Amino acid sequence: MKSDERYEIRFSGSGGQGIITAAVVMADGVGRFDNNHVCQTQSYGPEARGGKSKAEVVIAGAPIDYPKALSVDLLLAMNQAACDAYFFDLKADGLLVVDSGLVQQLPTSRSVSIPFTKIAKEETGKELVANMVALGAVAYLSGKVSLDGLEKALLSRVPKGTEEMNSKALHAGIREAKKIDLSSLPRSVMDDWDDEL
């Protein structure tokens, strides 16, 4: 990446969905195995489950000053409330990625809908790893992390005994994302709105 370039990913959903874990694994993959700088931040409520959960990963070619997102390149929304709350500062040419089972109303057609939670259930028997399915897709679609490094990071960050399940989920996410043709999407999140104006 060029030294003044920033790529910003926001992971969002509700507490308990593993939003922060997904962001940490992404940051670890970039931080340890790629040459870019990375900064990961989070915000969450006092609840153990429920409430809004948000985590951001900033990737840059130079040391990162402001640690949070300034304008988001890729927004992952794991529920409708997160999609509604965090869509506003997505870049015009940014990409919205949602769990199609949990987000029905899309604010733009420049979006990718994948049933992460359903896939997690089908692949591993557990909805719990929907975050890793989503991470696989986000990582692939962003093109900002080596997928090998990402898997290494994942294996070192998840609880012992769950490595296989998590890595299966990650690969399922990558596989689904590979089916997406980004060039078929409108170039800007504003495109559908421009037509109406």
Question: Footprint of other proteins on this chain (CB under 8 A)?
Answer: 24, 27-28, 30-33, 37-46, 64-68, 70, 153, 156-157
Helix H, strand E, coil C: the string for 17-81 is CCHHHHHHHHHHHHHHHCCCEEEEEEEECCCCCCCEEEEEEEEECCCCCCCCCCCEEEEEECCHH
**If you compute the radius of gyration of the chain from its CA atoms, what whole number of angstroms results?**
16
Q: Coil, strand, or helix at residue 14? A: strand
Contact 61, 2 (CB under 8 A): yes
The percent of the chain in helix, strand and coil, each rounded to the nearest 5, is: 45, 25, 35
- Separation CA 59–CA 51 (nearest Å): 27
- Separation CA 111–CA 68 (nearest Å): 23
Beta bridge partners of 114: 99
